[in-house]
Amino acid sequence: MTPETAATCQRALGFLELGMAEDAWNEMSELPAAHDEHSPVRQLRVEILGRMGRWGDAAALCLPMLEKEPSEIFWWIQGAYAQRRAHSIEAADAILRGALAHHPPEGIVLYNLACYACVQGRMDEAKDFLNRTIHADPENVIAMALKDEDLVALRPWVLQREAELRASSFEYLPPKP
């Protein structure tokens, strides 16, 4: 990436951090499309498009990258997120299932698969994915799951898992304040 490209990205990121997605997009529009071959440039474009609610455009930038850079988790997560909003939860679910082949231990993939399974009414599968994620980072995952609108139907189960973890080991979760 050239210094000029990096400077443009920095300015766009500044706009984005200020909540000025349109200005960030306009800044990035100064770059020729060929710069999208640089993964960080394309990632920033995806972030901006997401903030603008242009999910179809964000998905269009992410999906080709699943084959080009399958080891980059960003494309799987953002591609699924954009597909969910632009098309369907089933399309997003399919993307994340593909991510499992490249990122089996990734907690964020498992967590999102739990969300998608729950929203689609596949509760046993949702519990399995969420349980696998809970084992990796119990305190944070439980806290997220209790606030996540996608997991409302599993809240009683999450509270039960939290109580079980507290009872089995004080090392897992500190006492609630």
**For position 70, what pLDDT does the model report?**
92
**For position 38, what pLDDT does the model report?**
74
Of 101, 165, 100, which is closest to residue 137 (Cα–Cα)?
165
Of 115, 118, 36, which is closest to residue 77 (Cα–Cα)?
115
Q: Residue 130 corresponds to which tokens in the numbers above?
A: 């969420």
Three-class secondary structure of residue 55 per DSSP:
helix
Check: CB of residue 133 under 8 Å from CB of residue 141. yes
- Grade residue 94 by pLDDT with cuts at 50, 70 and 90: very high
Tell me the Ramachandran region of residue 53: left when phi exceeds 0, alpha when psi lies from -120 to 50, beta otherwise.
left
* pLDDT higher than threshold 90 for residue 160: yes
Q: Is 28 exposed, middle or buried (0-12, 13-18, 19+ CB in 10 A)?
A: buried
Q: pLDDT, tens digit, for every residue of 105-132?
A: 788 999 999 999 999 999 999 999 999 9
Once rounded to an integer, what is the mean pLDDT over residues 74-84? Answer: 95
**For position 78, what pLDDT does the model report?**
95
d(C-alpha 45, C-alpha 97), whole Å: 24
* pLDDT higher than threshold 70 for residue 96: yes
**For position 130, what pLDDT does the model report?**
95
**For position 175, what pLDDT does the model report?**
56
Q: pLDDT, tens digit, for every residue of 63-75?
A: 999 999 998 999 9
- Please give the distance of CA 130 from its chain centroid, rounded to a whole number: 15
d(C-alpha 44, C-alpha 10), whole Å: 10
* pLDDT higher than threshold 70 for residue 16: yes
- Please give the distance of CA 41 from its chain centroid, rounded to a whole number: 18
> If you average pLDDT over every residue of the chain, what do you get?
90
Q: How far is CA 76 from CA 7, 100, 125, in A?
A: 27, 10, 20
Q: How far is CA 29 from CA 8, 34, 61, 154, in A?
A: 10, 12, 15, 43
